[in-house]
A = this chain, B = another copy of it.
Amino acid sequence: MATGRTHRPATRSRGIPEATVARLPLYLRALTALSERSVPTVSSEELAAAAGVNSAKLRKDFSYLGSYGTRGVGYDVEYLVYQISRELGLTQDWPIVMVGIGNLGAALANYGGFASRGFRVAALIDADPSMVGKPVAGMPVQFIDDLERIVAENGVSIGVIATPAGAAQQVCDRLVAAGVTSILNFAPTVLSVPDGVDVRKVDLSIELQILAFHEQRKAGEETGGEAILPPVVRDAAAVTPAEGRKGPDGDMPAVMPA
């Protein structure tokens, strides 16, 4: 299992930087809102504020796409919407399959943001026979045995995994074998995929843990002026790693199960 290469070499010289690509949807959303209000043009300063980024960063981002602005005026909203949409590949229709129609999967299927921007849910797939046929988001759930057929018949290249962690890798393998080359993973697991397959990962509990870290730091700082030592616990488990290797001693607080 020497796979596991989830990140790409990113040696695209004339490519658009990853960080820029990640912001393009942000700009697109802000521009769409302006478009709906029939705003004809927008300056980098205004658009940057709406997207929550620095204006210099925004201009540099757009410079990778080309010179689409007019100096002294700004950017044409409609034109920019089209250019970014095209760059992101949203001018075409992307059929996607969603595997794992539990609580989260059903919520995602119902989530409007999925279907609204060029993405079309081609099928909902689950491994639970009692789910099969039940309508979710106006669409009958299909059995996982049909996964390969569904992917092939619909030309699906993007899959969404919302299964439990234990099933995710297996589902991933089947999706990849069937021809899917991009995966959005909601299961709390690291997926191994061959080269050429992109995986993006959304993990709810990880985000919370990152917030908790910052929250703890804030709380620790306002306690006093201590700048070096952590605020609280520093006594228990303050042993050297070597001697801490004994066997079944459960003095650690059970922080989590899975």
Which residues of A come within 8 Å of B, CB atoms? 1, 4, 6, 12-15, 21-22, 24-26, 28-30, 32, 38, 40-41, 49-52, 68-70, 73, 75-76, 78-79, 81-83, 85-92, 94, 96, 103-104, 106-108, 110-114, 116-119, 157-158, 181-184, 188, 190, 192, 196, 198, 200, 202-219, 227-228, 230, 233, 237, 239, 241-242, 244-245, 247-249, 252-253, 255-258
Residues of B within 8 A of A207 (CB): 184, 200, 202
Shortest C-beta distance, A241 to chain B (Å), equals 4
Shortest C-beta distance, A144 to chain B (Å), equals 20
Taken together, the copies of this chain in the complex come to 2
Residues of B within 8 A of A233 (CB): 86, 91
Beyond A25-B209, A94-B215, whether A79 also contacts B241 by CB under 8 A is: yes
Beyond A40-B245, A208-B184, A211-B158, whether A110 also contacts B103 by CB under 8 A is: yes
Beyond A200-B211, A210-B21, whether A118 also contacts B256 by CB under 8 A is: yes
Q: Which residue of chain B is the closest to A258 with respect to CB atoms?
A: B116
Q: Give A106 to B210 CA distance when docked, in angstroms.
A: 22
Q: Give A114 to B207 CA distance when docked, in angstroms.
A: 10
